[in-house]
Amino acid sequence: MAYLQLQGLEKFFGEHRAIKGIDLDIQQGEFVVFVGPSGCGKSTLLRLIAGLEHIDGGSLTLEDRDITHLPSSKRDLAMVFQSYALYPHMSVAENMSFALKLANVPKSEIDAKVKKAAEILDLTAYLKRTPKELSGGQRQRVAIGRAIVRAPKVFLFDEPLSNLDAALRGQTRVEIAKLHRDLGATTIYVTHDQVEAMTLADRVVVLRDGLIEQVGTPLDLYDNPANQFVAQFIGTPQMNILNHAQWPTAIAAMAPAGAKGGSIGLRPESLLVCTDGSGNSQGKVELIEALGAETLVHVTTLEGAHLVARQSERTSLRTGDAVSISMALNKAHWFDSKGRVVKA
Ligand code: ATP
């Protein structure tokens, strides 16, 4: 049986059914990431698990124990918030030890746990400071430390890095990955950030409008999306989608029967921009994004599709150049008119 089991979980806000019956099994030690567009219910689902919102339907089981209606403090879970939620007047050490003090853990044990967490998180030099004397990244590490000292059964993270600048976000992401590798704690993590989802997750759960669209390993979702929604949600830049009206003849000739009237999806790396006219589709360069290690070339085709091609080489192309696009159609994803995957 799963370590943490969600069965038919539901949440209403007034008449609005925000979570519409979610089933999910999470194994011990697993790192599960919830992603999905704004308003799909990621945070609400996490808050239902944390016990911060009342569960209106279904059940939640942790290690064979029904915790559906248990108060948050009795669930043995620890949540790390985007806003850190530190006590401003307490020192780092006091913030980290607060929950243990409340639980009447002996002082010597608290001190040992705080010391160890501070070492893991590189906070030893800051234990006497208050949160306002710390950088955003250090504050977030204190918030993580506060969760670690409690040794909870499950760590819950609600967009923990979104208040940090890009460089610090990258660093802290790596720290969280290492932490998970070292502690092996069961973790559920909500994010908007594709890179966080792809790099941290053992499994990614893609949510849409209160329901699960697909669950899988990051690369499984990338390579085998179950539908057009997941295909376009996972991956940056997004998968290129050409509806049937935008197909050049090469695509129309290859389309499986079920995709007629539907669309084709091609990842940016499945497109090659050619200047010798040898591609499947003619077009014009609209924009070039030179990112250093890679170049994104935006092309509008004669059929009216806007495509983004990713190439690892630098380019001498310029905006307005006439080009053709060579498409790796063996890597195509086909969808029917309802956006469901059609096997080639
Ligand atoms: P975001 O990525 O923007 O944070 P999310 O996927 O985390 O979004 P939720 O915050 O879980 O989405 O919200 C899910 C739905 O429930 C939304 O339609 C939201 O408006 C609604 N909702 C969330 N909290 C409440 C609340 N306290 N009262 C009423 N409606 C709410």
Which CATH fold would you assign to the domain 4-223? Rossmann fold (3.40.50)
List Cα–Cα distances, 299 to 275, 305, 307, 317, 318, in angstroms.
Answer: 12, 8, 5, 11, 11
List, as one string, the DSSP characters of 33-99: EEE-STTSSHHHHHHHHHTSS---EEEEEETTEE-TT--GGGS-EEEEETT----TTS-HHHHHHHH
Q: State both tokens at 341.
A: 């995957």
pLDDT band at 84 (very low <50, low <70, confident <90, very high): confident
- Options 3.40.605.10, 1.10.150.20, 2.40.50.140, 2.40.50.150; which CATH number does 240-342 get? 2.40.50.140
Closest residue to atom 20 of ligand 1, CA basis: 39
pLDDT at 308 > cutoff 90: yes
pLDDT tens per residue, range 148-177: 998 899 999 999 888 888 888 888 899 899
pTM of the model: 0.92
List Cα–Cα distances, 81 to 78, 197, 226, in angstroms.
Answer: 10, 17, 31
Average pLDDT value for residue range 121-141: 92
How much of the chain, in percent, has pLDDT values that exceed 70? 100
Give the integer Cα–Cα distance in Å for 4 and 24. Answer: 8
Going from N- to C-terminal start, the domains of the chain cover 4-223, 240-342
Closest residue to atom 11 of ligand 1, CA basis: 41
Average pLDDT value for residue range 315-320: 94
Give the integer Cα–Cα distance in Å for 38 and 104. Answer: 40
Pocket (CB within 6 angstroms of ligand 1): 13, 16, 18, 36, 38-44, 192
- Which one has a higher pLDDT value, 120 or 291? 291
Find the largest Cα–Cα distance for the chain: 76
pLDDT of residue 197: 94
Q: State both tokens at 275.
A: 């200047």
Closest residue to atom 26 of ligand 1, CA basis: 13
